[in-house]
Structure 1
Amino acid sequence: MTASAPDTDGPSARPHTAQHYSVAPPPLSPEGYVAPGMPGAPVTGYDPVDPAPRAAPRRRTALAVTLALLAMLLGGLAYGCAPLRAADSLGWLAIAPAGLVALPLGRLGGRNRLLPPLGALLAAGALLLGQLIEHLRRVQTDGPTPHDLLHDTLAAWRTDLRPLDAAFYAIALIGGFLLTRRTANQN
């Protein structure tokens, strides 16, 4: 059985059968086109519509350092003015001034390479300031001059230093560095 050849008496009543080609048929879509959502290489000459580029966040390093200095003073004041009966367990809160200092440095300063070491130093400075304020409250002298008051406070601080204080300073240094870097990376 054969199909009717063109230019014969008329169309055949048989249904069309599958056609076999020796070469592939021409594609119905342009070459290299990949339907959206389908895996494949990018199409040459195809420019997708780019969304509006995100504006880079503004970095305010001077404001960040100023607020970090204020946070250091505030953290040292809060650390030094804690009740004296809690002084023995207070050292473990050395991470709190580090967090206070790191927040403005990381959020406002961004990923500046100098800010994490600065955060570490300011956190240790807050701890030192807090310890000095605590010893200043303990010093009792009769009509001290500012020089005598500072001298007595530093002498009391030096005599009261313990090996555990080195651990507290290490906590403040490491915490200030890591927290500043972590808050900067969250931006």
Structure 2
Amino acid sequence: MTAPAPGADGPSTRPHTARHFSVAPPPVFPESYVAPGMPGAPVPGFEPAEPTPRTTPRRRTALAVALALLAMLLGGLAYGSAPLRAADSLGWLAIAPAGLVALPLGLLGGQSRLLPPLGALLAAGSLLLGQLTEHLRLVHADGPGPRGLLHDTLTTWRTDLRPLDAAFYTIALIGGFLLTRRTANRS
């Protein structure tokens, strides 16, 4: 038994099979062809007045890091130069250097994954610099010992560390990270 040939006894009831080509058939239209009147079709005689503006803002990461380092130094010096009578309540202001560092990182640096951890480290560094500046002022007022000003400053800083300082460093780390990320998302 053989199958009937197509068209001999009427149309075949078998489904059409796929046609296989060893080389793709040529397209009906060229690849870049756009029918006239369709979106994207060139309009004769039209030239754009100026190039299209950049859709994403330009990021200046190097400038952001440089300004954040400067903010760390200034924030640490301001934190350490506060009047000595306010030294006990000053620890809760650890979020201020974090904000100073986070502002240029977030606004100029953009949404890079590396900037929030850098903001956290710079905020903690600003807090450390502020504490060292405060102890440097105390040692300088009392007069340096025989080992030198830097050694006496580090010794008094280590002896003056309290468990509450860990909370201040945690505030600076978390604040630096979150504020950098938050200012980057707003720009």
TM-score normalised to structure 2 length:
0.70
Write the distance in 2 (CA, Å) between the matches of 1:168 and 1:62: 28
Question: Which runs of structure 1 show a deviation greater than 2 angstroms over 4 or more consecutive aligned residues?
Answer: 45-48, 52-55
Match of 2:101 in 1: 101
SS at match of 1:158: helix
| Post-superposition offset of 1:46 | 6.3
Per-residue deviation, residues 30-86 of structure 1 (Å, max 9, x unmatched): xxxxxxxxxxxxxxx8649xxx66531111000000000000000000000000000
SS at match of 2:93: helix
Correspondence 1:149 to 2:149: yes
Q: Map 1:21-170; keep pairs closer than 5 Å.
A: 47=39, 55-139=55-139, 140-141=142-143, 148-170=148-170
One-letter amino acid of the structure 2 residue matched with residue 141 of structure 1: G
Task: Note the aligned Cα RMSD (angstroms).
Answer: 1.8
Write the distance in 2 (CA, Å) between the matches of 1:46 and 1:132: 69
Match of 1:179 in 2: 179
Per-residue deviation, residues 136-182 of structure 1 (Å, max 9, x unmatched): 0000225x68x710100000000000000000000000000000000
One-letter amino acid of the structure 1 residue matched with residue 60 of structure 2: R
Match of 2:28 in 1: none
**Highest Rg: 1 or 2?**
1
Per-residue deviation, residues 81-131 of structure 1 (Å, max 9, x unmatched): 000000000000000000000000000000010000000000000000000
SS at match of 1:92: helix
TM-score normalised to structure 1 length:
0.70
Write the distance in 2 (CA, Å) between the matches of 1:177 and 1:165: 18
Write the distance in 2 (CA, Å) between the matches of 1:91 and 1:77: 14
One-letter amino acid of the structure 1 residue matched with residue 143 of structure 2: T
Write the distance in 1 (CA, Å) between the matches of 2:83 and 2:38: 69
> Unmatched 5+ residue regions in structure 1?
1-44
Write the distance in 2 (CA, Å) between the matches of 1:108 and 1:53: 19
One-letter amino acid of the structure 1 residue matched with residue 114 of structure 2: L
Write the distance in 2 (CA, Å) between the matches of 1:76 and 1:54: 38
SS at match of 1:68: helix
Write the distance in 2 (CA, Å) between the matches of 1:69 and 1:162: 27
Write the distance in 1 (CA, Å) between the matches of 2:116 and 2:76: 19
Q: Aligned pairs, how many? A: 138
Write the distance in 2 (CA, Å) between the matches of 1:74 and 1:53: 37
